[in-house]
Amino acid sequence: MNEHTNAQLATFAGGCFWCMVTPFEEIDGVLGIVSGYTGGHTENPTYKEVCSETTGHYEAVQITFDPNRMPYERLLELYWQQIDPTDPGGQFYDRGQSYQTVIFYHTEEQRQQAEASKRALAESGHFQKPIATAILPASTFYPAEEYHQDYHKKNPFRYKMYRQGSGRDAFIKKHWP
């Protein structure tokens, strides 16, 4: 990654990590996206362990981006438009701590920008309920198993059925036309 010496990381938990890849993947300035687990206490957790709700990890995506081409603030805007930020119990039909929404900041500047964007969303009146998304310091990120990477490309039919069935697409269409 030498040609991208100013590349930065953004880490977002937004429920099922499969659904958090596609909104960011074909955007100029996004250099890569990895699905994985973060925020917990177990080293190198497996999908099964994370789903058991015993590791403290969240399903998340870690995005490598060039801030000169894709500012962090724009990634935050896109993030808010992929989730139900008012749901403290998970996302859509995925329930539990591992599916809760979190912005994991890597720098003090990211923390400030995340807090400002959360405040702006709360004050916008866009949602009636309070914003439940947490903002936490980034910790070790463990890439998920290979079969989870680019799941939407490897299993397009199953992915499409999952997204529709979960209620995510209907929610996004209703709240972000």
C-beta separation of 66 from 145 below 8 A = no
| pLDDT for residue 85 | 98
Measure the CA–CA gap between 14 and 84, rounded to whole angstroms: 8
Active site residue 16: yes
- Mean of pLDDT values over 17-37: 96
Q: Which of 10, 13, 16, 34 is catalytic?
A: 16
- pLDDT tens across 75-85, in order? 999 999 999 99
Mean pLDDT, the chain, integer: 95
Model confidence at 2: pLDDT above 50: no
Distances (CA, A) of 80 to 2, 33, 73: 31, 17, 11
Task: Quote the pLDDT of residue 49.
Answer: 95
160 to 12, 40, 153, 167: CA distances (angstroms): 21, 29, 10, 11
The H or E element that residue 78 is part of is helix 72-80
Region of residue 112 (phi > 0: left; psi between -120 and 50: alpha; otherwise: beta): alpha
Band (pLDDT 50/70/90 cuts) for residue 4 is low
Domain containing 102 equals 2-175
The CATH code of the domain that includes 120 is 3.30.1060.10
Nearest to 136 by CA among 11, 34, 28: 11
pLDDT in tens, 103-149: 999 999 999 999 999 999 999 999 999 999 999 999 999 999 999 99
pTM assigned to the model: 0.94
Q: Domains in the chain: how many in total?
A: 1
